[in-house]
Amino acid sequence: MKTHTVSHFAKWQRWRAGRPWLGSCLAAVLAWAATVFSGQGQGSGELLTVALTFSAFTVLVSLGQMLVISVGPGNADLSIPSSIALSGAVAMLVMDGSNAMIVPGILAAVLVGALVGVFNFSLIRVLSIPPIIATLAGSLIVMSVAIAIGRGLKIKPPPLFSDFMAMRLFGIPLLAVVVLAVSIAIALMLERTVLGRSIEAVGQNDRAAGLAGMRVELTRFWAYVICAALAGLAGALISGFSGGNSLDQGQEYILLTIAVVVIGGTVVSGGAPCVPGIWSAAMFMFLLVAMLNAAGAGPGLRMLLTGLIIIGVIVAASSPGKR
């Protein structure tokens, strides 16, 4: 009987190990249920809609952070808030309130983000600066440019762009559908392209990947560029959603993206990105704050409980072999 129980437990551990997103998904469901319960069952559908809307922005930038973290230990992009601020300002300048300039404005924002990624990787590669220090220093430079361009900017997003950000498809925010499409594209890239397989291989063992003929530094270069480009896209979308650009509109993402990536099941040491976990973790982070607000927790207590719950979710979602 004991052997039979151990066998079932081992199967459960193997099953859970293949689904690193399970812990964050369960946590998100529990947070939603607790919030609905504290509100006596009212507004459950609207809560999910709002969660999907705001989580979509988090997912978009966290997907890029996931790629950067996946290329090996010590890699992280701390310039995301600055990229969002600069790209949002550029998008509004290019659009200038005109519906005809929406696409050029979005493309300009993505391009600016990609250039920030090139700049970040240049600091890392050419000057041999550790990634965290390089992206943090780079963010100060990028933010200086954003301040020069965006301070006092009062350009409203085009009416069609604002309407798009508020649209729903069968009750689901259209923004969430767009970000889901981006998520699927990233997942397919990781699974079916040379770059995707290289990201995993480099993250697992960069020396072995190099010996196998993979271009290690080029792989890392593309991870940083894609990350910054997604931040640029997020900057344009956030500006459209909030009625214009703001220099602090990306500030919350500096550590939130790292928390979402880790809670979502991506291995911090690299080599094992988890796209589904990004969605469940982003939803969990939003619903966790909503739950604590609904419970009437003050700012100090809310921050304490948020930290403790995040630690608990990470521990619960980790397989014994990764602790």
C-alpha 73/C-alpha 161 separation (Å) is 39
What pLDDT is attached to residue 321? 44
C-alpha separations of 313 from 12, 252, 294, 319 in Å: 18, 20, 20, 12
What pLDDT is attached to residue 40? 57
Any idea which of 25-34, 95-104, 263-272, 280-289 has the lowest mean pLDDT?
Answer: 25-34
C-alpha 87/C-alpha 91 separation (Å) is 6
What pLDDT is attached to residue 138? 92
Q: How many helices (H) and strands (E) would you count in the chain?
A: 14, 2
Task: Record the tokens describing residue 132, joined without a space.
Answer: 């965290």
Helix (H) or strand (E) holding 219: helix 216-242
Query: Rounded mean pLDDT of 217-234?
Result: 95
The C-alpha angle with vertex 134 and arms to 130 and 140, in degrees rounded to 5, equals 155
C-alpha 75/C-alpha 64 separation (Å) is 12
83 or 298: which leads in pLDDT: 83
Concatenate the DSSP letters of all residues of 92-103 into one string.
HHHHTT-GGGHH
- CB count within 10 Å of CB 9 equals 10
Give the tens place of pLDDT for each residue, 71-114.
988 899 999 999 999 999 999 999 988 999 999 999 999 999 99
Residue 68: strand, helix, or coil: helix
Residue 285: which of 300, 264, 271 has the closest Cα? 264
**In the predicted structure, residue 227 carries a pLDDT above the cut 90:** yes
pLDDT band at 124 (very low <50, low <70, confident <90, very high): very high
C-alpha 121/C-alpha 135 separation (Å) is 8
What pLDDT is attached to residue 317? 54
**In the predicted structure, residue 246 carries a pLDDT above the cut 50:** yes
Any idea which of 23-37, 43-57, 239-253, 260-274 has the lowest mean pLDDT?
Answer: 23-37
Residue 305: which of 293, 317, 323, 321 has the closest Cα? 293
Whether 227 and 235 have beta carbons less than 8 Å apart is answered as no
The C-alpha angle with vertex 289 and arms to 269 and 91, in degrees rounded to 5, equals 75
Residue 315: which of 65, 23, 34 has the closest Cα? 23
**In the predicted structure, residue 230 carries a pLDDT above the cut 80:** yes
Query: Rounded mean pLDDT of 274-278?
Result: 90
C-alpha separations of 226 from 18, 73, 85, 221, 306 in Å: 26, 18, 17, 9, 30
Counting Cα atoms < 13 Å in the Cβ hemisphere of 184 gives: 6
Residue 76: strand, helix, or coil: coil
Give the tens place of pLDDT for each residue, 146-179.
998 877 777 889 999 999 998 888 888 999 999 9
Residue 162: which of 260, 255, 237, 61 has the closest Cα? 237
Query: Rounded mean pLDDT of 258-276?
Result: 87
**In the predicted structure, residue 21 carries a pLDDT above the cut 60:** yes
The single-letter code of the amino acid at 75 is N
C-alpha 266/C-alpha 277 separation (Å) is 8
Domains and CATH numbers, the chain: 22-33+45-322 (1.10.3470)
- Rounded mean pLDDT of the chain? 85
What pLDDT is attached to residue 323? 44
Give the tens place of pLDDT for each residue, 180-213.
999 999 999 999 999 999 999 998 888 898 888 8
The C-alpha angle with vertex 197 and arms to 57 and 56, in degrees rounded to 5, equals 10
